[in-house]
Structure 1
Amino acid sequence: MGKYQADVEKLLEFVGGKENIAAVTHCATRMRFVLNDPSKANEKAIEELQSVKGMFTNAGQFQVIIGNDVSTFYNEFTAVSGIEGVSKEQTKNLAKQNQNAFQRAIAVLAEIFTPIIPAIIVGGLILGFRNVLGEINFDGATLASRSVFWNGVNDFLWLPGEAIFHFLPVGITWSITRKMGTTQILGIILGITLVSPQLLNAYSVGTTAAADIPFWDFGFFQMDKIGYQAQVIPAMLAGFLLAYLEIFFRKRIPEAISMIFVPLFALLPTILVAHAVLGPVGWWLGDLISKVVNAGLTSSFSWLFSFVFGMLYSPLVITGLHHMTNAIDMQLIATYDTTNLWPMIALSNIAQGSAVLAIIFLHRGNKKEEQVSVPSMISAYLGVTEPAMFGINLKYVYPFVAAMIGSGTAAMFNNIMGVRANAIGVGGLPGILAINGTEGGGWLSFAIAMAIAVVVPIFLTIFFEKQGIFNKEAQVATSGASTEASVPVEQSVAELTTNAEKNIRKELLFSPGNGNIIALDEVPDPVFSKKIMGEGFALQPTDGKIYAPVTGEVISIFETQHAIGILTPLGAEILIHMGLDTVELKGTPFTVKVQVGDQVTPETLLAEMDLAKVKAAGKKTDVVVVMTNSEKMDHFILTKQGDLKTKTPIGEFFIYQ
């Protein structure tokens, strides 16, 4: 009888039996099912299984968290069920059967834009700084007009700004070929043919007479030489055509000559069709979408449109639907040179951070919660809201509702004033850098909207807590008192007596590398941030060298090299998980330096992770360290956070013996 046979048999029953399983695979910690009918899964019964630490559904997959020993559990499950496992990529493809067409389209859109978001953010910051240099008047003149140096800086910064936004089609076509698993250099070349200097710049088309537009003359037909700078939809249509043509010819051309003819037959027809059909159609469609959105935000009902969008943007982030706004924003900028959508997104970031600020005030003295709330508030104010939403606001619900109302109110005021942004990517408080200073009151109007996004969520969060409105979870901490102080004296004495009778010993944790140490709640993966796998912390590394966070013995190395298990002398099972969702990279970015059975210390180099490859694959590089056998843990303390050197003592955990 296997180690997990009883639980395996019950899990098979509780997921609806063998006939309900379309596919099953596993990663470092989770069983990943694609179920034919997800409603047949008995989640309550599954949660009660001893070996199950939790579950959730994501992207059409029903994921059951097992822990470090998931590979053993998986082997026993496939043996008992008789189901052959499939690769994680196959599982993702099969999981699409549980998504409707709209969900699949949004997922594709997210996968296209995720790898290029860092460039868009940098571009937004650059254009925001140029905004300050070239548009803000100081005593009647701009910095660029007053100073030769600042004029040179302003002129120089246009170089990367143009590369990111005007040549955006290159990034889009590359990202599509990457997502589709086709030849990425062909995607880059296709993108360049859409923005080549030989073409009439897209920004000049509107001011050029029809007779003056250059064209290719093929004798029996002519084709306009028009570029598609900053155009999103023409690039997406062309990118998908290239990818599908390459896949088509790959299957039909013999491998011996495929290197020559597959790129030729895929690229040249795509370039021709892109300029003859897809470009003009995509331009028209993108122009139509941007005009519809702009009309909604400038109509007599714009106050309602903006209030609803401002309220619902945060829930969109939870579902992943917010990715569609990137394409709409870029199209608005391409059509109108500015966007009235992005300022409202920046205000939503601020509102979420302000709700957390109110929680910090209400629960001041709760040191444990402040390890999550303070950094997540800062993160939200700088434009990244997931830690604030998942770590604090959704936990209590009422701050999330307060943030939604504050965001909607601020967005409504912002839109009534007609504020627009020159670029996207700069969210939160720095979002003011991207605001167009000459439209709708410019920076002053946006500053007032920012104040609304700060004040309203703070006021409503305090009001909701005091009145018990939308309060999901009873508060332990009270204003002005620590968590410990609010526990009844009798309970505290009982706990002290019980702990005194137990043999509790301490082990130390060390930074596994150079970089930023963060609380587990800030990790953008619910399995870790909700501590389903156990307590711990994460490192945002600045280099690829990963060291042991504890002293102990290597007990497991996952086959895809991205996760390592260590058993400490006191019996704690520590999982070191390199990157998020990196199992599908199949070990490519990782070089493990140890073997199962090796004794390690914080001086031991466990592995090297190629950060550039992980980022290029669209994955996060966070190194997560968790204690997976949490039933042995009494409590955990993270004593240091922030930018630290490798091998620095950063925490301790106490183990029952």
Structure 2
Amino acid sequence: MGKYEEDAKRLLKEVGGKENINAVTHCATRMRFVLNDPDKADQEAIDDIPSVKGMFTNAGQFQVIIGNDVATFYNDFKEASGIEGTSTEDAKSVAKKNQNPLQRAVGALAEIFAPIIPAIIVGGLILGFRNILEGVDFGGATIVDRSTFWTAINDFLWLPGEAIFQFLPVGITWSVTRKMGTTQILGIVLGITLVSPQLLDANEVASTAAADIPQWDFGFAQVDMIGYQGQVIPAMLAGFLLAYLEIFFRKHIPEAVSMIFVPLFALLPTIIAAHVILGPFGWWLGNIISNVIFAGLTSSVSWLFSFAFGLLYSPLVITGLHHMSNAIDLQLIASEVTSHTTSLWPMIALSNIAQGSAVLAVIYLHRGNKKEEQVSIPAMISCYLGVTEPAMFGINLKFIYPFVAAMIGSGFAGLFNNFMDVRANSIGVGGLPGILVINSQIGGGYLAFAISMVIAIVIPFILTVVFRKRGIFNKEDREDSTAELAAVGATAGDIGLSSSEEDTAASLTDTQKVTEKLFAPVSGELLKITAVDDPVFSQKMMGDGYAVKPTEDQIYSPVAGTISSVFETKHAIGILTDSGVEVLVHMGLDTVELKGAPFTINVKENDQVSSDTQLATMDRKAVKDAGKQTDVLTVFTNGDKINSFALVGEGEVTAQEDLGEIEVS
């Protein structure tokens, strides 16, 4: 009988049986299902299976979190179900077939914008800071009016701000080619041709007389020499045309000469089409979208529009449709009609705050529940900093009533925000830091947005408390269930244990506590686990831990102990410490799909290791070229054994450096 045979049989039954499974695979921590009918999966029953640590749906896959022993579970599941697994890539391919055209389009948008969001965030912070330097009046003069030093700083910061937003088409065309698996340098060159200094700047077109717009005169035709600085749609259209032309010519040009003719026949026609057809069409379409949205935000029913947007943005995040807002926001910023600002982004930042405030109320209502606080407190912080998924999937959607309270609070905050005509100069900076990108010259500026933030904090908090106490949108988390929560930390006698249970509790209390030292597994930047771009790890579904964004390829053991497992795909290694802590060393994110190619493993099961032991080598360049992140994670997967966990280091660390310790009972 397999270790997980009973749990595997229960999972097979609760996902809807063998006939409901289209494909199944696993990664380092999760079972990944593509279900024919996802509604047949009984999530409450699955959550009750002892070996299941959580579940969520992403990109058409129903993912069940098992933990470090997922490979063993997977083998038992195959035995119980009689289903042979598929590769992760095949599962993804099948999952995409289950998505409708809108979901696939939104997924494509997400994949295009995700790699350039960090640059947009940096640009937003820079613009926000420059906005304060040159836009805020302090006693009749701005900071740059009063200081030569700050004037120079303001002028210098124009360089990165200009590079990020003026040359945004370069990032978009590169990202499209990256997503499509075509030649990325051609995407960069195409983007440069859209923003070349030889062209009339897109921001100057509206103020330039038609007769003064430069042209290429071919005799039989004239083409306007107009740039597409900051434009989104022309760059996306051009990027996709380039990618599809390259794919087409790769199939039809002999390999012996493909190095010469594929780039030539793909790039040159795309550049021509971009300036003759795609650019003007994309500009026209972008202006229509901007005008329609701006009209909705400034019409007599703008209050309804803004309330609905604030109310419904969080549900859009669940579906993934919120990725469309990035393109719309950037299009609004590129438009002369909106004075190069957007009214949508401030409302998105307020939605982040509202979700975090609902979690804050749950923390207050469930105070004393230490296990839940391991998820709720980091989730609240990440919300206030602009990332809502941990809070929504880890807490608010679990109880429903805080999610609804956050939606309502976000709606009222958005309504007030739009009433005061608050706008942002850029996107990417969400949550409380979102105030840095607010335009101080239009509408209510900083003060109005600050009031909106207060609304987004107070209303969700109050409504969450009221909904819970009165049972509104709340079937499970009743007030009378707090006895269980209050029992945390109580003595055995206080909660009515039997005499044998009291003895067990007393013996556990008396158990001597030991500490385990923690070390940096690789040189690089030390990160909190909540900063990792994977909800399973950032929400601590697998357990607490830490991560390092590496600057070297050599991976060392973060603890002393024994190798308990080496994953077949080489991207993860399990270690058991002498005190019984199960440690997962996970190299990169989603690197199970790379099938071990970038990894060289130096250890085997049952090897004794310490901080001096090099576990593996990770080819960071190969991981990055595959579109994956290189974060190296150290995760404690049996957190019930850990009393406390503290890191003494932060920022840049060196491999094998002493980072802190965990206290184990």
Question: TM range, normalised to the smaller chain?
Answer: 0.7 to 0.9
1:651 alignment partner, SS class: strand
1:418–1:439 contact (8 Å) kept in structure 2: yes
State the Cα distance separating 1:82 from its structure 2 match.
Answer: 7.9
CA distance in 2, matches of 1:594, 1:435: 52
CA distance in 2, matches of 1:44, 1:351: 27
CA distance in 1, matches of 2:422, 2:34: 45
State the Cα distance separating 1:505 from its structure 2 match.
Answer: 7.5
Name the residue aligned to 2:658: 647
Matched, 1:600 2:603: no
Matched, 1:329 2:329: yes
Residue 402 of structure 1, aligned match among 373, 387, 405: 405
Most deviating of 272-281 and 10-19: 10-19
1:160 corresponds to which letter in structure 2? Answer: P
1:207 alignment partner, SS class: coil
CA distance in 2, matches of 1:4, 1:365: 33
Residue 489 of structure 2, aligned match among 472, 475, 484: 484
1:4–1:76 contact (8 Å) kept in structure 2: yes
Name the residue aligned to 1:377: 380
Most deviating of 209-218 and 177-186: 209-218
2:579–2:664 contact (8 Å) kept in structure 1: no
CA distance in 2, matches of 1:139, 1:553: 66
2:487–2:495 contact (8 Å) kept in structure 1: no
Name the residue aligned to 1:241: 241
Matched, 1:637 2:643: yes
2:545–2:636 contact (8 Å) kept in structure 1: no
1:562 corresponds to which letter in structure 2? Answer: H
CA distance in 1, matches of 2:155, 2:260: 42
State the Cα distance separating 1:238 from its structure 2 match.
Answer: 0.8
Matched, 1:511 2:518: yes
**Matched residues, number:** 649
Name the residue aligned to 1:284: 284
Residue 567 of structure 2, aligned match among 554, 558, 563: 558
State the Cα distance separating 1:543 from its structure 2 match.
Answer: 4.8
**Deviations 1:64-111 (Å, cap 9, x if unpaired)?**
445444445656767898876544223212211111111111111111
**For residues 586 and 140 of structure 1, do their structure 2 counterparts lie closer, same or farther at Cα, with a shift above 3 Å needed?**
farther
1:606 corresponds to which letter in structure 2? Answer: L
Within 5 A, what are the aligned runs for 1:192-207? Answer: 192-207=192-207
**TM-score, reference length from structure 2:** 0.87
State the Cα distance separating 1:131 from its structure 2 match.
Answer: 0.1
CA distance in 1, matches of 2:581, 2:647: 22
State the Cα distance separating 1:429 from its structure 2 match.
Answer: 1.9
Matched, 1:463 2:466: yes
**For residues 536 and 142 of structure 1, do their structure 2 counterparts lie closer, same or farther at Cα, with a shift above 3 Å needed?**
closer
1:386–1:524 contact (8 Å) kept in structure 2: no
State the Cα distance separating 1:266 from its structure 2 match.
Answer: 0.9
Name the residue aligned to 1:576: 585
State the Cα distance separating 1:622 from its structure 2 match.
Answer: 5.0
Within 5 A, what are the aligned runs for 1:27-66? Answer: 27-38=27-38, 55-66=55-66
2:7–2:49 contact (8 Å) kept in structure 1: yes
1:227 alignment partner, SS class: coil
How large is the RMSD of aligned CA atoms in angstroms?
3.5
Most deviating of 559-568 and 304-313: 559-568
Within 5 A, what are the aligned runs for 1:141-540? Answer: 141-335=141-335, 336=338, 337-364=340-367, 368-471=371-474, 472-474=476-478, 483-485=488-490, 489-491=494-496, 495-500=501-506, 508-513=515-520, 516=526, 518=528, 525-528=534-537, 533=542, 535-540=543-548
2:609 corresponds to which letter in structure 1? Answer: V
CA distance in 2, matches of 1:452, 1:8: 47
Residue 567 of structure 1, aligned match among 555, 561, 576: 576
2:574 corresponds to which letter in structure 1? Answer: G
2:205 alignment partner, SS class: helix
State the Cα distance separating 1:304 from its structure 2 match.
Answer: 1.0
**For residues 419 and 95 of structure 1, do their structure 2 counterparts lie closer, same or farther at Cα, with a shift above 3 Å needed?**
same
**For residues 288 and 512 of structure 1, do their structure 2 counterparts lie closer, same or farther at Cα, with a shift above 3 Å needed?**
farther
CA distance in 2, matches of 1:487, 1:153: 63
State the Cα distance separating 1:553 from its structure 2 match.
Answer: 1.9
1:583 corresponds to which letter in structure 2? Answer: V
2:453 alignment partner, SS class: helix
**For residues 419 and 478 of structure 1, do their structure 2 counterparts lie closer, same or farther at Cα, with a shift above 3 Å needed?**
farther
CA distance in 2, matches of 1:355, 1:636: 28
**Deviations 1:252-303 (Å, cap 9, x if unpaired)?**
2121111111111111111111111111111111111111111111111111
1:59–1:96 contact (8 Å) kept in structure 2: yes
Name the residue aligned to 1:548: 557
Q: Mark the runs of 5 or more structure 1 residues left unpaired by the alignment.
A: none
CA distance in 2, matches of 1:217, 1:253: 33
CA distance in 2, matches of 1:147, 1:54: 55
**For residues 585 and 125 of structure 1, do their structure 2 counterparts lie closer, same or farther at Cα, with a shift above 3 Å needed?**
farther
CA distance in 1, matches of 2:519, 2:177: 35
**TM-score, reference length from structure 1:** 0.88
2:647–2:660 contact (8 Å) kept in structure 1: no
CA distance in 1, matches of 2:267, 2:110: 25
State the Cα distance separating 1:62 from its structure 2 match.
Answer: 3.2
Q: Mark the runs of 5 or more structure 2 residues left unpaired by the alignment.
A: none
State the Cα distance separating 1:642 from its structure 2 match.
Answer: 7.4
2:127–2:437 contact (8 Å) kept in structure 1: yes
**For residues 588 and 486 of structure 1, do their structure 2 counterparts lie closer, same or farther at Cα, with a shift above 3 Å needed?**
same
**Deviations 1:122-142 (Å, cap 9, x if unpaired)?**
000000000011111111111
1:640 alignment partner, SS class: strand
CA distance in 2, matches of 1:465, 1:43: 22
Aligned-pair identity in percent equals: 66
State the Cα distance separating 1:451 from its structure 2 match.
Answer: 2.0
CA distance in 2, matches of 1:366, 1:183: 52
1:119 alignment partner, SS class: helix
CA distance in 2, matches of 1:622, 1:311: 35
1:362–1:478 contact (8 Å) kept in structure 2: no
Most deviating of 249-258 and 122-131: 249-258
**For residues 506 and 246 of structure 1, do their structure 2 counterparts lie closer, same or farther at Cα, with a shift above 3 Å needed?**
farther
CA distance in 2, matches of 1:346, 1:292: 22
CA distance in 2, matches of 1:370, 1:48: 20
1:116 corresponds to which letter in structure 2? Answer: I
2:457 corresponds to which letter in structure 1? Answer: V
CA distance in 2, matches of 1:309, 1:247: 39
State the Cα distance separating 1:226 from its structure 2 match.
Answer: 1.0
1:391–1:529 contact (8 Å) kept in structure 2: no
